[in-house]
């Protein structure tokens, strides 16, 4: 007897419950050229490390188990295998089947920029040599001016070309910098520093505007306090100098013969050596100490 099949009210068979088993995706991602190149590099680096190690270990094992002769043969076989692998990798790199090392790839990317930099260095060196030749009079002024202008124009063009070549990388460099700062936890500090700098610039600009407004107001009022203060200072200095000159002249005595100024307590002229006339006091009397020498001589003759 066959078992009766259960049906639902609608006359349809109940659907069987199936467990959803994990399935591998039918569509695998395509391997890009970069991933293939990375695999090639990893394989090459692994072979460069594995072949020498296996050769040394195998030769030592053969030497312990058997003798030195078979060990040398194993070592020679490993060296030969490594040499063949090296030449094979070089041949594949030359034919383009294998990717270049990362360092060489970066070097090829920077070839144009390096060529511009070398050209700039060469022109700067030529300009310096030209100045040296001008200094020793090997070249005249007109030729020097023409050649120097040509070199400088070419250097400017090279610098513009260098800036143009690296301009597309500015955004990527800024993004990498922000990512690094965020990674090390310095992004907030850098942002705060930029905000503080912006606030300082705004404050300086406001101060400058206020100073300009004050100066404009002073000019409109017709007052120049700084000039007035400077004029007053100059007049005070002139008065002080005049007073000092008068005091110095009052402390001097003029010789009647040669009109040379001498000190107030001098008795003889420092220029001609003649006796100075006595200085009159406020009462009009001459001091006894300042009596001229000819009076003393006449008194001696009278005696």
Render pLDDT for 5-32 as a digit per residue (tens, 0 to 9).
444 444 545 554 444 444 444 344 445 6
Helix ranges, the chain (H): 33-65, 68-95, 102-109, 111-135, 141-166, 170-184, 187-221, 225-250, 293-302
For residues 261, 264, 265, 270, the Cα torsion angle rounded to the nearest 10 degrees is 0
In angstroms, the CA 197 to CA 203 distance is 10
Express as a percent the part of the chain with pLDDT over 70: 54
DSSP 8-state assignment for residue 10: T
Sorted by sequence, the CB contacts under 8 Å of residue 58 that are 6+ apart come out as 74, 78
User: CA separation (Å) from 222 to 217, 233, 235, 288?
Assistant: 9, 20, 21, 64
Given this model, what pLDDT does residue 157 score?
92
Mean pLDDT is lowest, of 86-90, 97-101, 124-128, for: 97-101
Among 272, 274, 271, CA closest to 292? 274
Within 10 angstroms of residue 173's Cβ, the number of other Cβ atoms is 10
In angstroms, the CA 302 to CA 268 distance is 24
For residues 76, 80, 86, 87, the Cα torsion angle rounded to the nearest 10 degrees is 150
Give long-range contacts, CB 8 A cutoff, 24+ apart: 98-102: 98/40, 98/44, 99/36, 99/37, 99/40, 99/41, 101/41, 102/41
In angstroms, the CA 281 to CA 293 distance is 19
Domain residue limits, the chain = 37-105, 110-171
Asked if residue 62 lies in contact with residue 70, where contact means CB atoms within 8 angstroms, the answer is yes
Model-level pTM?
0.30
Given this model, what pLDDT does residue 295 score?
42
Express as a percent the part of the chain with pLDDT over 90: 7
Mean pLDDT on 109-123: 76
Question: 249, exposed or middle or buried, with CB in 10 Å at 0-12, 13-18, 19+?
Answer: exposed
What is the per-residue pLDDT across 136-175, written as a single tens digit (0 to 9) for each? 988 888 899 999 999 999 999 999 988 888 888 788 888 8
Among 78, 21, 71, 73, CA closest to 52? 78
- CA angle, residues 153, 156, 157, in degrees to nearest 5: 90
Asked if residue 60 lies in contact with residue 71, where contact means CB atoms within 8 angstroms, the answer is yes
Given this model, what pLDDT does residue 154 score?
92
Sorted by sequence, the CB contacts under 8 Å of residue 74 that are 6+ apart come out as 55, 58, 59, 62
In angstroms, the CA 218 to CA 211 distance is 11
């Amino acid at each position: 007897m066959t078992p009766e099949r259960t049906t639902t009210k609608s006359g349809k068979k109940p659907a069987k419950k199936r467990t959803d088993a994990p399935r591998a995706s039918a569509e695998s991602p395509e391997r890009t050229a970069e991933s293939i190149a990375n695999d090639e590099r990893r394989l090459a680096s692994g072979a460069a490390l594995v072949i020498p190690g296996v050769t040394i270990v195998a030769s030592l094992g053969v030497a312990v188990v058997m003798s030195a002769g078979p060990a040398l043969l194993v070592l020679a076989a490993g060296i030969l295998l490594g040499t063949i692998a090296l030449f094979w990798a070089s041949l594949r790199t030359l034919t383009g089947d294998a990717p270049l090392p990362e360092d060489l790839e970066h070097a090829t990317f920077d070839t144009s920029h390096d060529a511009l930099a070398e050209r700039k260095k060469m022109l700067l060196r030529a300009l310096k040599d030209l100045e040296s030749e001008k200094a020793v009079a090997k070249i005249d002024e007109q030729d020097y001016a023409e050649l120097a202008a040509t070199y400088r124009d070419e250097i400017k063009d090279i610098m513009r070309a260098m800036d143009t070549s690296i301009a597309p990388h500015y955004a990527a460099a800024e993004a990498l910098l922000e990512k690094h700062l965020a990674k090390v936890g310095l992004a907030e500090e850098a942002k705060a520093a930029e905000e503080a700098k912006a606030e300082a610039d705004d404050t300086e600009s406001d101060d400058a505007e206020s100073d300009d407004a004050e100066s404009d107001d002073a000019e409109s009022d017709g007052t120049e306090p700084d000039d007035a203060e400077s004029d007053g200072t100059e007049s005070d200095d002139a008065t002080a100098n005049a007073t000092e000159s008068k005091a110095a002249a009052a402390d001097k005595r003029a010789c009647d013969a040669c009109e040379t100024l001498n000190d107030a307590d001098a008795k003889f002229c420092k220029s001609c050596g003649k006796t100075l006339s006595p200085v009159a006091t406020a009462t009009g009397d001459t001091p006894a100490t300042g009596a001229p020498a000819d009076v003393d001589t006449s008194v001696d003759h009278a005696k």
